[in-house]
């Protein structure tokens, strides 16, 4: 993995063919129970984070949210473990040949999710999906409230569901467990209700019980949301994803009732530029941009084919051969995440980063912020507590090149303009 760190561009290809994504833990739905109660108020009332309109002189509904999920028993843990073992094996991240730029962008986002995700564009068959899904084995563990469908963080109220927050404020002790960061795949044919969640209005009117079914954004909270062929996704769904990724919250509104829940996730998109580009306004919402190309070296192509043949012949044995490298990389990621808060960047370097952005006419300040974050994450990955100009040179093309395009008909710069401006300012 030495070639991975400190490299901003690649000329090789990754292993080909997509692996089946690791299925996420089943999340139980939340039930919103309604019971009738008389009242003499007018306007809107809030119950458990839900806004309900009420009228004077009429009976009003009080809404309470309660999760039906309970703490996972040892038998359930055992069955979950057996289910994971029976899944199709995932290609090891350490076995990916080449594509250092893409791998580095993914690792930096795992170290610091606030970078804002990564958009991966490249030729078909270059291992984009395989590389993203192979990241599953390297994801660290996090603390969650057991049985909570939103993966609430017991130590951070910003990523807690309304019900968990209310229970903690009332002094109730909730069971805490550790689980790996979740990766959720978003299919191209997904509807807005499947992505955001849905409220069963008919059930509320006929049975007096109002059920909220969390969507993919709830499942991806504090995890990774992967959208393959994101450039083919409907624009309104892309807008929903990017808004939730930027704000960290998802709001579902149906028939005057509004429900919000935390939705902080790393958004990873991939696509083939031949099938169309994203609008510049949407591209800007991705923190980093990685380009992958088809390998031209014959020897390297043979190595990729041989490695893939070994994996297809005996996936378990192949994964075992890379176990030591996988564990080493996982420990490196854990150390970097723990040391990230202590990494500093000099004011002079911050000024030069902003000068590069200004002279390249980058709109807004996202380019400045992402470049600072990515440089700090790279320094942490290298085991240092201070950012160097070399760190900035490595990440700045991935942070800025997709922000230079003003016209939707223009193509994304390869990064040459960013590199030239960097050396001009940092000389």
What is the pTM for the complete model shown? 0.74
Instruction: Examine the fold and report which residue of 235, 267, 297 is the final residue of a domain before the chain moves on.
Output: 297
Encode 28-49: b = buried (16+ Cβ within 10 Å), e = exposed. eebebebeeeeeeeeeebeebb
Quick one: 230 and 292 in the same domain?
A: yes
110 and 255 housed in the same domain: yes
> Quick check: is 12 in a domain?
no
Tokens of 266: 């790393």
Pick the last residue of a domain from 263, 297, 331: 297
Domain boundary residue among 270, 297, 324?
Answer: 297
**Do 378 and 293 share a structural domain?**
no
3-class secondary-structure state, position 107? helix
CA dihedral in degrees (153, 159, 160, 161; nearest 10)?
Answer: -140
Residue 95 lies in a domain: yes
Does residue 119 share a domain with residue 256? yes
Per-residue confidence (pLDDT) for residue 119, from 0 to 100: 92
CA distances from 28 to 147, 182, 306, 312 (A): 7, 15, 43, 35
Are both 109 and 258 inside the same structural domain?
A: yes
Write out residues in the chain with pLDDT < 50, as ranges: 1-3, 5-73, 76, 82-83, 85-86
Q: Is 393 strand, coil or helix?
A: helix
In a domain, residue 36? The reply is no
- Tell me what pLDDT residue 86 has: 46
Residue 412 lies in a domain: yes
* Backbone conformation region of residue 276, classed left if phi is above 0, alpha if psi is from -120 to 50, else beta: left
Which residue segment(s) compose the domain that 364 sits in?
Answer: 347-426
Domain assignment present for residue 214? The answer is yes
* 269/359 same-domain check: no
Residues 121 and 213 in one domain: yes
Same domain, 131 and 232: yes
Catalytic-labelled residue, pool 133, 285, 319, 366: 366
In a domain, 189, yes or no: yes
Query: Which helix (H) or strand (E) is 101 found in, with range?
Result: helix 100-111
d(CA 33, CA 31): 6
Is there a single domain that holds both residue 352 and residue 253? Answer: no
Residues 288 and 362 both lie in one domain: no
The CA distance from 338 to 403, in Å, is 30
Do 200 and 266 belong to one domain? yes
* H helices present in 152-273, as ranges: 162-169, 192-196, 201-207, 216-219, 235-247
Instruction: Specify if 254 maps to a domain.
Output: yes
What is the number of structural domains in the chain?
Answer: 2
CB-count burial class (<10 Å; 0-12, 13-18, 19+) for 176: middle
Catalytic residue check, 254: no
Q: Is 391 part of a structural domain of the chain?
A: yes
* pLDDT at site 40: 38
Residues 109 and 230 in one domain: yes
Output the six-digit token pair for 306: 């041989």
Burial of 240 (0-12, 13-18, 19+ CB in 10 A): middle
Query: For the domain that residue 409 is a member of, what is the CATH number?
Result: 1.10.8.80
Beta strands in 304-425, from DSSP E residues, in sequence order = none
Question: What CA–CA distance (Å, rounded) separates 203 from 218?
Answer: 22
Q: Which residue do the tokens 């986002």 mark?
A: 109
CATH of the domain at 274: 3.40.50.300
**pLDDT number for residue 27:** 39
């Amino acid at each position: 993995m030495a070639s991975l760190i400190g490299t901003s561009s690649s000329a090789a290809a990754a292993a080909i063919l997509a692996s089946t994504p690791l299925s996420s833990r089943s999340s139980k739905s939340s039930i919103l129970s309604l019971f009738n109660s008389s009242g003499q108020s007018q306007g809107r009332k809030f119950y458990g984070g839900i806004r309900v309109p009420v009228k004077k002189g009429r009976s009003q509904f009080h809404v309470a949210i309660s999760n039906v999920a309970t703490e996972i028993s040892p038998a359930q843990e055992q069955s979950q473990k057996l289910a994971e073992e029976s899944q199709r094996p995932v290609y090891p991240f350490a076995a990916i040949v080449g594509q250092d730029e893409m791998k580095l962008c993914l690792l930096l986002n795992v170290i610091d999710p606030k970078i804002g995700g990564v958009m991966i564009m490249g030729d078909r068959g270059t291992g984009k999906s395989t590389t993203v899904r192979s990241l599953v084995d390297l994801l660290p563990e996090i603390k969650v409230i057991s049985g909570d469908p939103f993966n609430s963080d017991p130590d951070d109220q910003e990523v807690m569901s309304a019900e968990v927050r209310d229970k903690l404020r009332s002094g109730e002790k909730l069971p805490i467990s550790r689980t790996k960061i979740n990766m959720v795949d978003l299919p191209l044919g997904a509807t807005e209700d499947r992505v955001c969640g849905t409220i069963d209005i008919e059930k509320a009117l006929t049975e007096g019980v109002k059920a909220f079914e969390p969507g993919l954004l709830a499942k991806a909270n504090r995890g990774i949301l992967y959208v393959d062929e994101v450039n083919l996704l409907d624009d309104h769904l892309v807008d929903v994803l990017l808004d939730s990724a930027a704000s960290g919250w998802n709001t579902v509104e149906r028939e005057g009732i509004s429900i919000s829940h935390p939705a902080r996730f790393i958004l990873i998109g991939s696509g083939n530029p031949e099938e169309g580009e994203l609008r510049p306004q949407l591209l800007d919402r991705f923190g980093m941009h990685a380009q992958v190309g088809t390998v031209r070296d014959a020897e390297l192509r043979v190595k990729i084919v041989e490695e893939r043949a070994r994996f297809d012949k005996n996936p378990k044995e192949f994964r075992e051969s890379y176990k030591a490298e996988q564990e080493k990389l996982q420990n490196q990621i854990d150390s970097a995440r723990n040391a990230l808060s202590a990494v500093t960047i000099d004011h002079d370097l911050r000024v030069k980063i902003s000068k590069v952005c200004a002279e390249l006419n980058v709109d807004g300040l996202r380019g400045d912020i992402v470049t600072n974050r990515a440089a700090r994450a790279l320094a942490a990955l290298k085991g240092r507590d201070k950012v160097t100009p070399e760190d900035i040179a490595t990440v700045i093309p991935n942070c800025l090149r997709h922000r230079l395009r003003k016209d939707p008909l223009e193509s994304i710069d390869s990064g040459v303009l960013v590199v030239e401006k960097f050396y001009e300012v940092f000389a």
